[in-house]
Amino acid sequence: MIGGRRETGFSKRDGGGGGQSFCRSRIAAAIFVGIFLGGVFAFFYPDGFFVSSPSVHHSVANSDSEVITSSCASSERINMLKSEFIAASEKNARFKMQIRELTEKLQLAEQRKDNAQKQVLVLGEQQKAGPFGTVKGSRTNPTVVPDESVNPRLAKILEKVAVNRELIVTLANSNVKDMLELWFTNIKRVGIPNYLVFALDEEIASFCQSKDVPVYKRDNDEVKRDQDKNFESIARTGGNHAVSGLKFRILREFLQLGYSVLLSDVDIIYLKNPFNHLYRDSDVESMTDGHNNMTAYGYDDVFDEPTMGWARYAHTMRLWVYNSGFFYIRPTIPSIELLDRVAGRLARENAWDQAVFNEELFFPSYPGYEGLHASRRTMDYYLFMNSKVLFKTVRKDSQLSKLKPVIIHLNYHPDKFPRMKAVVDYYVNGKQDALSPFPDGSDW
Ligand SMILES: *[C@@H]1O[C@H](CO)[C@@H](O)[C@H](O)[C@H]1NC(C)=O
């Protein structure tokens, strides 16, 4: 599957220039002839010349003992045969070497061309490195050219709703109606104008309209254009994980239209305007499932294997996953590639969307796999707070409990709705003991 993806990537687009392909076909022909000759040699001399020479010697020696007395002419012939064999086997070895060299050269040339093309795409122009300490790579990729034709109706809505070409987007069906109401009530209270509910069924669409909440629902033509038979049924009846898979598909259109999206689950309470707390320097800026500096921002996890003695300690790079229920994504090529990769895998595999999201974001390239290499930023876990941080640490800490986060995501707890209401009571209504009744984790 990964190989297939590579094929449709850079390597397929390479095959353009006629001169190039002529040159390549000559190299290919040379390799083919070489391999063919090698095959012929391998067929007639399966053990190879060098291996078979001793047995030649042996049989020659045998015939020697029978023939040597009869004439010295025959020993001359034997010597001649020997040198012919040696010459032939040397030729064979040279052939093999040449094939190997040619193959390596071809591979190298392909790699270089691939890399050169990628560099041109990314950098545009070559530049000299500045002095020590002044060099900084780019993590802020250029945004795509907006393409309204992908969804003109959505484009119109976004023109009205978005501020500075960015907005909050959530997906909802009637299974989460109560949480959705709490979600947009707090967004309105904070005074955030740029948000949109992507309604997955008619009930949610009319509910939002009745509450004066910006809403978009696909009409039948748009669904048909999507050519996905499953979309409607997942949208209407899907549980949490199934709906989560849809969002990567839906997000693509927003990005193609040129908008940055702050993707949000509904089990989130907004306490401040998040757009005042973003860096906007990376393809993906995400809240974390981590709960302290190490787990949120990365650490060296040392693995101990005493039997290795001197080298018993293996160092590993660790990071708690990004939360795919709250992330800011800029409309760049790597971002859209990320959405495509995640949506593609979720369509083929029965996988958890958050796991797939993180794998695509973090695994580097390796033999047989081309990594995504989108740029990433981890959000401050005290500002964009998960419910583990809140209930395990913050509510018990006299300093931290006084600070107001930007959002709180009830991601770590199944009793989302009562905890959401408690968060509002604590941070908005000033009820000091509102969080106390709840245990740190769920009781199962
Ligand atoms: C955790 O990270 C933040 C941000 O880098 C830093 O300001 C803070 O001092 C760190 N805290 C600890 C305990 O290391």
Q: Would you state the pLDDT for residue 228?
A: 57
What burial letters (b/e) apply to 137-172, b meaning 16+ CB within 10 Å?
A: eeeebebbebeeeebeebbebbeebbeebbbbbbbb
Mean of the per-residue pLDDT values of the chain? 84
Q: Would you state the pLDDT for residue 97?
A: 81
Q: Would you state the pLDDT for residue 51?
A: 44
Q: Would you state the pLDDT for residue 135?
A: 94
CA 41 – CA 28 distance, rounded (Å): 20
Q: How far is the CA of 298 from the centre of ligand 1 (A)?
A: 12
pLDDT tens, position by position, 387-404: 999 999 999 999 999 999
Q: Does pLDDT of 286 surpass 70?
A: yes
Q: How far is the CA of 316 from the centre of ligand 1 (A)?
A: 21
18-27, 189-198, 304-313, 381-390: segment of lowest average pLDDT: 18-27
Q: How far is the CA of 280 from the centre of ligand 1 (A)?
A: 21
Q: How far is the CA of 379 from the centre of ligand 1 (A)?
A: 13
Q: How far is the CA of 408 from the centre of ligand 1 (A)?
A: 20
Q: How far is the CA of 299 from the centre of ligand 1 (A)?
A: 13
**Cβ neighbours, 10 Å, residue 292:** 13
Q: Does pLDDT of 284 surpass 80?
A: yes
Q: How far is the CA of 319 from the centre of ligand 1 (A)?
A: 16
CATH topology of domain 148-427: Spore Coat Polysaccharide Biosynthesis Protein SpsA; Chain A (3.90.550)
**Cβ neighbours, 10 Å, residue 424:** 19
pLDDT tens, position by position, 219-253: 877 766 665 556 666 676 666 566 777 899 999 99
Q: How far is the CA of 392 from the centre of ligand 1 (A)?
A: 18
Task: Give the start-to-end residue ranges of the domains of the chain.
Answer: 148-427
Q: Which residues sit opposite 196 in a β-bridge?
A: 169
What percent of the chain is modeled with pLDDT above 70?
Answer: 75
Q: How far is the CA of 282 from the centre of ligand 1 (A)?
A: 21
Q: Does pLDDT of 20 surpass 80?
A: no
Q: How far is the CA of 380 from the centre of ligand 1 (A)?
A: 10
Q: How far is the CA of 292 from the centre of ligand 1 (A)?
A: 9
* 5-19, 79-93, 351-365: range with highest mean pLDDT: 351-365
Q: How far is the CA of 257 from the centre of ligand 1 (A)?
A: 38
Q: How far is the CA of 382 from the centre of ligand 1 (A)?
A: 11
Q: Judge contact between 153 and 222, C-beta under 8 A.
A: yes
Q: How far is the CA of 170 from the centre of ligand 1 (A)?
A: 31
Q: How far is the CA of 293 from the centre of ligand 1 (A)?
A: 6
Q: Would you state the pLDDT for residue 41?
A: 54
CA 158 – CA 248 distance, rounded (Å): 18
Query: Greatest CA separation found in the chain?
Result: 118
Decide: helix, strand or coil at residue 95.
Answer: helix
CA 423 – CA 143 distance, rounded (Å): 36
Q: How far is the CA of 386 from the centre of ligand 1 (A)?
A: 17
Q: How far is the CA of 397 from the centre of ligand 1 (A)?
A: 16
Q: How far is the CA of 419 from the centre of ligand 1 (A)?
A: 28
Q: Does pLDDT of 44 surpass 90?
A: no
Q: How far is the CA of 297 from the centre of ligand 1 (A)?
A: 10
Residue 53 confidence class, pLDDT cut points 50, 70, 90: very low
Q: How far is the CA of 376 from the centre of ligand 1 (A)?
A: 19
For 162, list phi and psi in degrees, rounded to 5. -70, 155
Q: How far is the CA of 4 from the centre of ligand 1 (A)?
A: 43
Q: Would you state the pLDDT for residue 64?
A: 44
Q: Does pLDDT of 13 surpass 90?
A: no
Q: How far is the CA of 278 from the centre of ligand 1 (A)?
A: 18
Q: How far is the CA of 139 from the centre of ligand 1 (A)?
A: 23
Here the tokens at position 34 are 């070489």
Here the tokens at position 20 are 């190039």
